[in-house]
A and B are shown apart, each in its own frame.
Chain A
Amino acid sequence: MHILRAVRGSFVFAAGAALFLAGSAADAVTFNASFAPIKIAAKPGQVLTTNYRLALDDGDPRTHFKVEVQDWWRSEDGRQSFYAPAGSISRSCGHWVSANPMEATVSGGQALQIRLTVSIPQDVQPGGYWCALSVDEMPDPLDIAPEGVGVRFLASVSTGVYVYIDPVERGADVLDIEVDGAQATARS
């Protein structure tokens, strides 16, 4: 195994005192997260590893997490983000990245180490590829659902994974430019 480069990402995820009960601010969900993207320069056939760390604050309740590698993209106006199974986009690195563990329960004050292994195919074409590592809070089946009509919130953190296969040629095709007053919008 060639461990050529390890990019370490880390974030701390701290759930609030209670996760699902509706209403009061005391029940709010709180977490600390790192949003640093994971950037990897690689060559065809290489296998690279990186770690992602997740830790809860002391006193946080046990929280179950699901780890997933997905594709992602944004709408043209940037107002919407889409997450889909790996392989949904042509420049996906989702099938190259595996995470271990895929699920875990973390107690307050404990940390979860997620190991990411990036296996670059031999026949990959040069260029940039991307996907996302998502860590989703999962509902606790033992929690009692609140009474009435309501929405309960869970949290999710996603970090972009960018894989660059040399030689990378950076560029963009500008399809349209709209000028509105002092603001110009380029569509590429």
Chain B
Amino acid sequence: MQRQILSFFKAPALAAGAIVLLACSASAQTTVTLPDTSQTTVLTAVVNEQARVTFPSGVTFTVSDITGSTIASPAAVTISNIVLATATKQLKVSVQADAAAFTAPGGSTTWSAGDVTWSAATWTSASGSAGTLSNSAYNAVATCAADAASCSTTGLVFTLGAKPTVQRSGNHQLTVRWKVEAIGS
């Protein structure tokens, strides 16, 4: 109990002391140099490996002769804002079909995924690869050059092979998935 009473009286005593100090400082202002003026704050930005990728939404084959190949309009692929962990890592673009074959009217004969091929297009800052579509593996379409900030093409041509056994007109559709992977280390 005695200790509490003493503490109670300390407070006004400290306040009085502070007032005295303030009064003194007001009458004799002086600049005090801090012992350490080199205090710094480090700002850190954590940058993830990243890229901006634009794929075509689809291609259409206007098939006027099922006994010959049909070429689609050139498709464009752009990869930009490439940021990777090292100068030797690269981005690889590949495709895989979701199914083994197109879906056709009434389940009629249609093209298989392997009937779709693509050319080794001319790429900017990438090496293109010709290939054949598969539903079991992602096959490479292009690999961006090491340390490239972007890579692109506007001339990726998909070709649908001949299929003389097709007997139904209408919609023959296949879903294909694009994949972008970082390769190397």
Does A pair with B? yes
Interface residues, chain A, CB within 8 Å of chain B?
9-11, 16, 18-23, 25, 27-37, 74-75, 78-83, 136, 139, 145-158
Give chain B residues whose Cβ lies under 8 Å from the Cβ of A156.
177-179
Interface residues, chain B, CB within 8 Å of chain A?
48-63, 70, 72-73, 76, 81, 84-85, 91-92, 94, 98, 102, 111, 116, 129, 131, 136-140, 158, 160, 171-183
Give chain A residues whose Cβ lies under 8 Å from the Cβ of B116.
151
Give chain A residues whose Cβ lies under 8 Å from the Cβ of B175.
139, 151-154
Given contacts A31-B53, A80-B137, A81-B138, A148 and B60 within 8 Å (CB-CB): yes
Q: Could you write out 5 A-B pairs with CB less than 8 Å apart?
A: A30-B54, A32-B50, A148-B172, A149-B62, A149-B70
B52:A35 contact, CB within 8 angstroms: no
What residue in chain B is nearest A80 (Cβ atoms)? B137
Q: How near does chain A come to B68, taking the closest CB pair, in angstroms?
A: 13
Cα–Cα, bound, A150→B58 (Å):
7
B180:A33 contact, CB within 8 angstroms: yes
Q: How near does chain B come to A155, taking the closest CB pair, in angstroms?
A: 5
B57:A34 contact, CB within 8 angstroms: no
Main secondary structure of the interface of A (DSSP, over half): strand
Give chain B residues whose Cβ lies under 8 Å from the Cβ of A74.
183
What residue in chain A is nearest B183 (Cβ atoms)? A78
9 other A-B residue contacts (CB within 8 Å) besides A29-B57, A153-B178: A22-B57, A22-B58, A75-B137, A79-B131, A80-B138, A150-B58, A150-B59, A150-B173, A155-B177
Select B54's contact among A23, A28, A82, A147, beta carbons within 8 Å: A28
Cα–Cα, bound, A17→B61 (Å):
22
Give chain A residues whose Cβ lies under 8 Å from the Cβ of B84.
35
Q: How near does chain B come to A71, taking the closest CB pair, in angstroms?
A: 13
What residue in chain A is nearest B185 (Cβ atoms)? A37
Give chain A residues whose Cβ lies under 8 Å from the Cβ of B76.
25, 28
What residue in chain A is nearest B163 (Cβ atoms)? A149
Q: How near does chain A come to B164, taking the closest CB pair, in angstroms?
A: 15
Cα–Cα, bound, A29→B63 (Å):
25
Q: How near does chain A come to B78, taking the closest CB pair, in angstroms?
A: 8
Select B57's contact among A19, A32, A33, A158, beta carbons within 8 Å: A19
B51:A32 contact, CB within 8 angstroms: yes
Give chain B residues whose Cβ lies under 8 Å from the Cβ of A155.
53, 55, 177-179
Which has the most chain A C-beta neighbours within 10 Å: B58, B177, B181? Answer: B58
What residue in chain A is nearest B136 (Cβ atoms)? A82
